[in-house]
Structure 1
Amino acid sequence: MQESLSVNHWSRRELLRVGGLGALGLSLPRLLAAADKPTAGPAPKADACIIIFLNGGPSHLDMWDMKPAGPIEIRGEFDPIPSSLAGVDVCEHLPRLAQQMHHTTLIRSMNHSVNNSHAAAVYAALTGHDRGEQGGGAKPDDHPAPGAVLAKLRPTRPGTLPYITLPYKTKEGAAGPLQPGFLAGFMGATYDPFWVLDDPNTPQFHVRNLSLPAGLAQERMQARRGLLTSLNHGLEAQSNQTLDSLDDFQQQAFDLLTSNRAQRAFKLDTEPDSVRERYGRNIYGQSVLLARRLIEADTRVVTMSWAPHANATWDTHGQNFRSLKTRLLPQFDAACSSLLDDLAQSGRLERTLVAVLGDFGRTPKINNNAGRDHWNSCYSILLAGGGIKPGFVYGASDHQGATPRHSPVTPGDIVATIYQLLGVDHQHLLYDTLNRPHTVVPEARIIHDLLA
């Protein structure tokens, strides 16, 4: 963790405060600094956002832009089925999601410039910045993820976690670096996500970063809080932004550790077994269920990355149809359909934006390994809730699903539209740690046809 001041320049008061937090045994990371005042922007239609990121590149042709009239080498092995959205078919292996399509907008004309590097495509999809085939892992000068931007510009109330990513720190290949697009980048590590990296499907699941140290009861913690307060009052009176921020972090740390609401969100064992089964008893289904619970506990943005590394799940260069049929689509069908249904039934879908995104699509032509390769020229995404027009299809691909037939859309357009719905101007200026200005998403447009 890098601090804004070197140790040599810290005062006795600053060191005591940081040491005091350490004495608590707190492992709550830099996200606690996300306490900026709200910034004026468009009136938000959504209070929260869940991003389900199908990491690796899901096949649009085998999910929701099928070409049943095409030749076998393009249409593949699956049959389409009707959905609850009149005139729109989806894959036969998405039967439950088919019944939720009337809640959604399906965009079938996505495209960007990246066809080789997963890292660069993920970065474009999540930040809206298409920098071409510039691969590699996350860098300090990257543009920030939506969760980081919202943590700064629309901070949550005390006792909540503003931005959470789960269940993996997805790598660029099994031995590769952390993919870009999930961190705060030039905004500084203060706004990085709170990572939940334990498997929520295991009986022993708990979030260690939100647990009190062993043997430290709440009464003892409150006593330490009083001691720290006394130390602060007894030290020399001085005030600067760093010290004020440390006060905020200390307060938020205590709030989180004593907040029943925050603690309850992670207690998946309080959910009925029938609900957990409905989402799917696997790491991804339970992560989506956890995302719903976190939004209910006032987290602003939850990003769920569906892969431990880029080649592990949706990157179906080989055995595309077997992987989709036996593993990927059934798990996704259960998790996504349950999320949309629960949010709709509870009345939360109106104020919760759900975005099902991916790095790119897959080739129209099936390769010699019964797989499909990367395809950036045209692919599909799904949006729902939070001010998105329900029961709508935007754009279309050609007869092979190879290029947009009309209304092409870039990731920047989608990210700008997501910001609009969440009450952030995508032309807003953010400042890096050297106080240099950066536009949130400069080369993008809001797609007003998607808005309810």
Structure 2
Amino acid sequence: MPGRLSDRRLSRRELLRVGALGTAGLTLPQLLASQAARAADSVNGPAAKADACIILFLNGGPSHLDMWDMKPSGPIEIRGEFNPIASSLEGVQVCEHLPLLAQQMHHTTLIRSMNHSVNNSHAAAVYAALTGHDRGEQGGVAKPDDHPCPGAVLAKLRPTPHGSLPYISLPYKTKEGAAGPLQPGFLAGFMGATYDPFWVLDDPNQPNFHVRNLALPDGLAMDRMNDRRSLLSSLDHGLDLDSNQTLASMNDFQRQAFDLLTSNNAQQAFKLSEEPDSVRDRYGRNIYGQSVLLARRLIEANTRVVTMSWAPHANATWDTHGQNFNKLKNELLPQFDAACSSLIADLAERGMLQRTLVAVLGDFGRTPKINNNAGRDHWNSCYSIMLAGGGIKPGFVLGASDRSGAVPTHSPVSPGDIVATMYRLLGIDHQHLIYDTLNRPHTVVPEARLVPEIMA
């Protein structure tokens, strides 16, 4: 009898270890708890035109003047080194280094009149872009009272089926500078860590890519997993549900964790090796191209929101204060062109684009005038974003900038307006009340307006 009791305790410890695999993020039970929204937070929102969302966040501030809103007739110190080319959207030109994406522009809406109040702090601009809350130049670390991002809000208000991950962020926890803290805008904030993303921080371009948070613990075979499942069921026997609701709920989340660990659907999504080499090559054999391909596979496996941050830290990629044209031409634009064009084309070919919202966002744009380091600096007064699918009007351009790309000449749009419109397309009223961990109500995006012009 003592021996059997010891074995039982060991099994239970291993069971809990299975429920705490998320050393790089949430534990699986915490993550799965996000699918048990409180009745107070239930939502009967507008009819959803999109069921899923992929956010490609060009972290650092992509140059609108060298991508989407070129000024070929302007002076050399503004127009830069690149030439525009025609796109599949009649009358709309894009950069010559985006030839593949140029052929997909008929699926998209370009907005060339974005602006907000943040010009210095990447962190504050990222926070505004991803949450819709512009708090000025307040940067710093992510805080518990931050407003939540779309992935967190959708995880709560439009939970996914069991055996799927509601909100995933990859491939980095982007920092505010190489040695800086995590940028705000990717987390659940006042909603609580339960709704934070499931982080995928391994490089999907590596041949040995696997997701540690979803792998079985070393030495734990599938048949032993089934033993743990039986043990978990036995924990319910004799449980007083009225007095032990928390334990009962945790048991349920542990059971869902088992389902996720053994779910063929969830596990298959991460098996990029099953994609044809031609497809992987088309997206680009680099961490970003393969992350975008993984995002498509995760949406196919019922994930609601995937956010892909294109930088390990704010200054690493799109923050082109120096050598802007060399970096764009030789690295950033070819990688982005391959990945984004392949994503849109694949979603359209598979009949998924209509119900999948793709948002290509950034923290701000770059200065009209080229600096002495052949770079462009931060510019918040006017920049561009691109949206596609999921109820977005195809083949449309909203807004315009002046002859130097410095300020909008009409139809100015804020990040809050875009995030509010994204919520509407995803079936959430941006004025809906959500509750923090102290049960206090908050409006999802209070200071924003919908942008009906871009909705199909």
CA gap 1:299/1:287 in 2 versus in 1, 3 angstroms = same
Of 78, 85, 105, the residue aligned with 2:82 is 78
- Structure 2 SS opposite 1:138: coil
Query: Which residue of 2 is the match for residue 36 of structure 1?
Result: 36
Q: TM-score, normalised by structure 2?
A: 0.94
1:5 — aligned with what?
none
Structure 2 stretches lacking a partner, 5+ long: 1-8
User: In 2, are the aligned partners of 1:201 and 1:286 still within 8 Å (CA)?
Assistant: yes
Q: CA deviation at 1:236?
A: 4.8
Structure 1 stretches (4+) deviating beyond 6 angstroms? Answer: 15-18
1:170 corresponds in structure 2 to 174
Structure 1 Cα separation of the partners of residues 130 and 447 of structure 2 = 14
Counterpart residue identity of residue 276, structure 1: R
Determine whether 1:404 maps to 2:439.
no
Following TM superposition, by how much is the alpha carbon of 1:21 offset from its aligned partner in structure 2, in angstroms? Answer: 3.9
Aligned to 2:125: 121
Give the alignment partner of residue 189 of structure 1, picking from 193, 217, 220: 193
Q: Taking structure 1 as the reference length, what is the TM-score of the superposition?
A: 0.95
Q: Given the alignment of the two structures, is residue 27 of structure 1 paired with residue 31 of structure 2, yes or no?
A: no
Q: 1:368-390 deviations in whole A, cap 9, x for unaligned?
A: 00000000000000000000000
Pick from 131, 138, 141: which aligns with 2:135? 131
- Aligned residues with identical type, % of pairs: 81
Instruction: Classify 1:244/1:271 alpha carbon distance in 2 versus 1 (closer, same or farther; 3 Å).
Output: same
Give the Cα–Cα distance (whole angstroms) in 1 for the partners of residues 366 and 418 of structure 2.
20
Which of 208, 214, 227 is the matching residue for 1:210?
A: 214
Residue 441 (str. 1) matches residue 435 (str. 2) = no
- Give 3-state SS (helix, strand or coil) of 1:49's partner: strand
Higher mean C-alpha displacement, 31-40 vs 178-187: 31-40
Aligned partner of 1:45 in structure 2 is 49
In the alignment, the residues of structure 2 paired with residue 19 and residue 412 of structure 1 have an alpha-carbon distance, to the nearest angstrom, of 46
1:24-423 pair list within 5 angstroms: 24=18, 26-28=20-22, 29=27, 30-37=30-37, 39-423=43-427
Q: 1:17–1:228: 8 Å Cα contact kept in structure 2?
A: no
Cα contact 1:362–1:373 (8 A) shared by 2: yes
Give the CA deviation at 1:24.
3.2
Equivalent AA in structure 1 for residue 331 of structure 2 = R
1:134-173 CA-partner distances (Å, limit 9, x unpaired)? 0101111100010000000000000000000000000000
8 Å CA contact 1:24–1:224 kept in 2: the answer is no
Q: Alpha-carbon deviation of 1:39?
A: 1.9
RMSD, aligned CA: 1.6
Quote how far apart the aligned CAs of 1:216 are: 1.6
Q: Counterparts of 2:14 and 2:224 in 1: how far apart (Å)?
A: 14
Work out the CA distance in 2 between the residues paired with 1:22 and 1:95: 51
**Are the structure 2 counterparts of residues 260 and 78 from structure 1 closer, same or farther at C-alpha, using a change threshold of 3 Å?**
same
CA-to-partner distance for each residue in 1:54-111, whole Å, 9 max, x for gaps?
0000000000100000000000000000000000000000000000000000000000
Moved more, 430-439 or 182-191: 430-439
Contact 2:241/2:248 (8 A) holds in 1: no
How many residues in Structure 1 have an aligned counterpart in Structure 2? Answer: 438
Return the alpha-carbon distance in structure 1 between the equivalents of residues 246 and 19 of structure 2: 21
1:375–1:205 distance in 2 versus 1, CA, 3 Å: same
Contact 1:36 1:153 in 2 (8 A): no
What letter corresponds to residue 115 of structure 2 in structure 1?
N
Inter-partner Cα distance in structure 1 for 2:278 and 2:445: 42
Q: Distance in 1 between matches of 2:215 and 2:185?
A: 28
**1:195-229 residue CA offsets vs partner (Å, 9 max, x unmatched):** 00000000010001111112222221111111121
Matched residues in 2 for 1:346 and 1:48: separation? 14
Question: Measured at CA, do residues 258 and 145 of structure 1 come closer, stay the same or move farther in structure 2, by a change above 3 Å?
Answer: same
Structure 1, residues 405-425: CA drift from partner, whole Å, max 9, x if none?
000000000000000000111
